[in-house]
Structure 1
Amino acid sequence: MGRTWRRRKNRGKKSPISKPLDYEGTIVNLKRWMTKCNWYNGTRLKLSYFTNTGRGITCDRNLKIKDTLIEVPYELMITLGSFDVLNEIVTTKGGKLAIHDLLSLFLVIERHRGESSNWKFYLDSLPNELPNLPWLSTSCEIDVLPYSLRETVLNRRKNFELSWKRSKESINSRWKCECCQTVGHRVITLNSFTWAYVMVNTRAVYVDPDIVRELSSSAISKWNDVLSDEPSMALCPFLDMFNHSNNAETSANLVKSEGKWMYKLITLLPSKKHEEIFISYGPHDNIKLLCEYGFFIPHQDLDFIRWKFSDVLDVTKIKLNERQYKFIKKRKLELDESLYIDSSGLSFNLKATLYVILNPFVADWCSCIFGDFSSINLIEMQDLCHKLLKWKAYKLQDELECMQKYESEVSENFKNVLKYQNYILMLVTKFCANFCVK
């Protein structure tokens, strides 16, 4: 959610306003349209350009804990109940569709309708350019990505391709646009669908599917046969302009207020007037942020360095006996996603794995793993950690050199990954210099 592909530097500092954007035509029209549809800007939210985050939200008063940031009428949200325009377009011949697919198709159709769309002023507020997402890189670019990142990127690419396949096959071949008589397959193209899919992926909010069903009773009979998952995604005008920070704490829910359903966003932290107001998209690490939203946040608490179990064995050059191997496997200590170092130290699984590797003849590993390690144990683990970090730095440098061979002729998506890889190398170097096992 939000415009998540702008520059993300100096996250810990305040966001100085470069210029107000509230008087831009698209924003004036958006607010005017929302006001006509019973939206009240009680917090006096304003859109501004911030020099370190780009477009974001502020207000001209101090905010206290549990203050309401924004309340958007349910009727202004794009949900399962908004899909009347898709009734004659979508069929089940290609199989069932996910709510993400339907929202994407809806955006494509409404954007094509232009001036005749009831959602024109919201659509005008959406960017034409896509964020620099790794999975939008070319196949050749993806092929030279580091294995761990490439796996994540390919999964995201596969999710998109499956969504496009389902959606394309669902289009009614007899349907023509009522405003221009263009056939469906020329309206819903790969380019238009890609734009819409990314808009939904980066901006949609979670909504309680039971409430959506209750409020969309007339649409349920139609879409129950089409929908493959819960109708738990929705698009929410203006609210999607808040930027993300892992330090933000907010609460968002559909609530009934004076007999009307509203999507209500509450801040759980105070903020000062004229400062940018952030929300949290969730406790996402930088790989998640990069692959889902197209940006990463340097020096955040969720940064980590991860290894595969095979990497740990290769670097330590210690051969496990059968008892060690069975112990590690039985307790699932070797799971790749659990072997990492972050700002708080070694993960439990990495510390336990290193201890077992270093102490093959200890009778009861559990007593130390779930108790206290001796000072000698900690020194030995620290030595191995430094070996792992130096190996990771060498590997990252090698991967970067391979990627940089293509730097002069690559997409902005790939260049964004290069920036991320350089940052990770810097992070590993920093860990090498300062890390201490506790």
Structure 2
Amino acid sequence: MNGLQYHRRGRTSRRRCKRTLRTRMNNLSSDPSIIALVQWMCSMGWNATCKLRLVSNFFTGRGLQAVNGVKAGDVLVRIPERLLITASTVCNRLEIENVKVLLSEHGLLAVFIFLETQLGSDSPWFPYLQTLPKSFAVPSNCSDFEILSLPLFMQKRVMEQKYAIKTAFDNGCELITNLISKGKLPSSASVPTLSEFHHAWIVVNTRAVYMSCAADSLTCTILRDRDGSNLALAPYLDMFNHSFNAQVNAGFNKSTRCYEIRSQTKCPSMAQVFINYGPHDNMKLWIEYGFYLPGNPHEVITFAWDNIQAIVKRRPNSSITARKVEFLKGHGLLENLCCTVEGFSWGLSAIICVVCIEDCEISSYHKVFRGDWIPLESPLEIQFSLDLTATKRMEFIEARRRMLEVENSSDSFQIAIRILEEYIDILNKVEAWLEGLSQKKCS
């Protein structure tokens, strides 16, 4: 799975790129691995519901193209239950019984991908495994030097994922060793290296779908801490790319015993068909899938309480007293501080209001919860907001400058730079809006 990716260009160039998405597609349907996949799926009871073909272009990589167009309500793809790879598939395949493992469904599926890949053409799922990407532009694949060159907030997210992968790796190795000792796997079976398991984990992370209303048969009792949802790898389905504009319905259909994706909108013939992974911001898309979307409407820039405190120290007309902190904590206003291209979140606006109020006017704190409160109503609040925005923008500009000095950087590291540029663009727009608001207040 992937998404729209454009190099940093001007607005006119990006529009031109979008217009050429339909004409610069290379047909991949004749690729031997794709032919083998389709033949294998058909032998397992799969039938195409919509005439699609696999294509590739510079902007989106591999994706699916509608040969005859798509109407609203059309089923784009229908994957039979027997082709879905779930935790139950793994349990049945490995004959796992009475074994409690610390692995999540995600980790268990990663073990499956590794073991089946080791079997090569002897694996029943070989035609599917052959179509999986060999590499991903996710940040956990960045070098240690690149990760240390990221801004701290990006470093934190990357290290959290690397820790999750390492934990799953340790538990996965323990499970494989256990199965070898019990004769469930041959003594010649290998235990993965961290690099091999990492790749399998990312395969699952970028390609699995959720089935919250899956069939009862799609259960596995060996897993600890089941959350009621089921992950599944679905051959062919994972070739759809993501767009925030796509409107689809997706899920397991108990009547047809298939995982289905149904389009809610029409798509012209010879255009690429997209699905929607969810309302993810670019950090989420980068961390989890290894791409970003220019102009992503779900983009969010987060602020920390430290950012607020730093501005207060520089501005004589604002303050953070013990009473203010108690009020803010008591009302849960120190969390979820962010802004989008449309401006500040309610919580961030409320904090700015409180820190700009004189401490002797404690009764005025509560106006942020009254219906008559207007965010950024006073010139003092607007100026505070301008300082906050400008400081955050300069922070991103400096981080980008340092990152551009890294030579021969990976594709994933380059995406991180593009995300920072998206943040800078958003803050430029917010700052321009605040300046306009300030001028109106002064006139």
Does residue 1:422 correspond to 2:421, yes or no? Answer: yes
Q: Is the 8 A contact 1:21 1:47 kept in 2?
A: yes
Question: CA RMSD for the aligned pairs?
Answer: 2.9
The more displaced of 369-378 and 247-256 is 369-378
* Counterpart for residue 98 of structure 1: 104
Query: Per-residue deviation at 1:182?
Result: 6.9
Query: Per-residue deviation at 1:414?
Result: 2.7
Q: Is the 8 A contact 1:71 1:263 kept in 2?
A: yes
Label 1:396 to 1:208 Cα distance change in 2 as closer, same or farther (>3 A).
closer
Does residue 1:20 correspond to 2:16, yes or no? Answer: no
| Cα separation, 2, equivalents of 1:356 and 1:254 | 48
| Cα separation, 1, equivalents of 2:324 and 2:397 | 32
Paired amino acid for 2:206: T
Instruction: Tell me the TM-score normalized by structure 2.
Output: 0.86
Does residue 1:163 correspond to 2:168, yes or no? Answer: yes
Paired amino acid for 2:338: Y
| Cα separation, 2, equivalents of 1:376 and 1:400 | 30
Divergent runs of 4+, >6 A: none
Q: Is the 8 A contact 2:211 2:230 kept in 1?
A: yes
Paired amino acid for 2:70: L
**Equivalent position to 1:283, from 276, 279, 283:** 279
Instruction: Tell me the TM-score normalized by structure 1.
Output: 0.87
The more displaced of 319-328 and 384-393 is 319-328
Query: Per-residue deviation at 1:421?
Result: 2.4
Which consecutive unaligned segments of at least 5 residues does structure 1 have? none
| 1:178-189 → structure 2 map (5 Å cutoff) | 183-186=188-191, 188-189=192-193
Paired amino acid for 1:34: M
The more displaced of 196-205 and 420-429 is 420-429
* Counterpart for residue 145 of structure 1: 150
Query: Per-residue deviation at 1:53?
Result: 1.2
Label 1:306 to 1:373 Cα distance change in 2 as closer, same or farther (>3 A).
same
Paired amino acid for 1:86: L
For 1:322-362, what per-residue CA distance to the aligned partner results, in whole angstroms no more than 9, with x for missing partners? Answer: 33222211111111xx2222122210001111111112226
**Equivalent position to 2:226, from 224, 229, 237:** 229
Tell me the matched-pair count. Answer: 419
| Cα separation, 2, equivalents of 1:297 and 1:3 | 10
Query: Per-residue deviation at 1:70?
Result: 1.0
| Cα separation, 2, equivalents of 1:72 and 1:301 | 31
Label 1:65 to 1:306 Cα distance change in 2 as closer, same or farther (>3 A).
same
Query: Per-residue deviation at 1:111?
Result: 1.2
Q: Is the 8 A contact 1:286 1:296 kept in 2?
A: yes
| Cα separation, 1, equivalents of 2:95 and 2:375 | 69
* Counterpart for residue 400 of structure 1: 400
| Cα separation, 1, equivalents of 2:268 and 2:204 | 31
| Cα separation, 1, equivalents of 2:133 and 2:152 | 32
Paired amino acid for 1:42: T
For 1:180-225, what per-residue CA distance to the aligned partner results, in whole angstroms no more than 9, with x for missing partners? Answer: 9773335x232221111101000000013662xx225xxx6xx523
Secondary structure of the residue that 1:85 maps to in structure 2? helix
Which consecutive unaligned segments of at least 5 residues does structure 2 have? 9-13, 439-443
**Equivalent position to 2:113, from 97, 107, 110:** 107
Query: Per-residue deviation at 1:37?
Result: 1.4
**Equivalent position to 1:196, from 196, 200, 207:** 200
For 1:380-403, what per-residue CA distance to the aligned partner results, in whole angstroms no more than 9, with x for missing partners? Answer: 332222111111122122223333
| 1:210-359 → structure 2 map (5 Å cutoff) | 211=215, 214-216=216-218, 223-230=220-227, 232-257=230-255, 260-317=256-313, 318-335=318-335, 338-359=336-357
